Structure 1
């Protein structure tokens, strides 16, 4: 009886940990560096802080247990703020946001990388192949089912 109770508890705790799994985010620079040691594609979400579709995508799709499991298993995950002030090194060039205003509420100026990638809307998803080249992209909110189909 005690073994069954212990086994049930372990299975329950295991199920909780799968549900609570979060995507392991990193910067694009970190992902590109890791690709050199262990090649695998990069999943990059390009978002803004102010757009409700980005917030819904984060809450309803990216936090879905199956989505986070697929991304963590198969990709290096990059979360890129399209209006942030980070410096990004990509394809031999350095990109930043020279017009970034740290005191601005809401929309800010666009990061130079968004122009380079030809971002057409938010949220945007980019899949970079094992060589760091853009292989696929999608724009707009996706349900967990839609994103999983895109990733497979």
Structure 2
């Protein structure tokens, strides 16, 4: 009787999949919902939200590790997608970036886009995570690899 009770209690703790759970799993995003800066500006007008910006470069080893480990963690994906507009920007892009009506590009003798330098508060480090309040205010740079 004790063995049977133990087995039943273990079985009772096993989550039962129902139709609603399966729908939620199927519709859940498979990764972080990265959007462009332009998209984030448009969405901010309709639904204000905090902003997370990942500043990376193509040559940065730790940026690639963050892509493979941190940004594939299900808890990180769920939290970022729920609470932030997530933007992935190459800090050394040669393209100019239009943000809040101003055009940003690379300064002479610099590889880094001026907007990225501004967000990192002149402390260039890759990767850098930039956290902002709703409306793109109060940028808080967190330099370096973030391990989960």
TM-score w.r.t. the length of structure 1 is 0.72
Report if aligned partners of 2:117, 2:124 keep a CA contact under 8 Å in 1.
no
The partner residue of 2:138 within 112, 134, 141 is 134
Gaps of 5+ in 2: 1-15
Structure 2 residue 64 is matched with structure 1 residue 55 = yes
In structure 1, runs of 5+ residues without a counterpart are: 1-6, 100-107, 145-152
Shift of 1:134: 2.9
- Secondary structure of 2:31's aligned partner: coil
Q: Secondary structure at the match of 2:89?
A: strand
Q: CA deviation at 1:61?
A: 0.4
RMSD: 2.8
Distance in 1 of aligned mates of 2:47 and 2:27 = 26
Of structures 1 and 2, the larger Rg is shown by 2
State the shift of 1:121 in Å: 0.3
Report if aligned partners of 1:126, 1:134 keep a CA contact under 8 Å in 2.
no
- Give me the TM-score of the superposition, normalised by structure 2: 0.74
* Change beyond 3 A, Cα 1:41–1:90: same
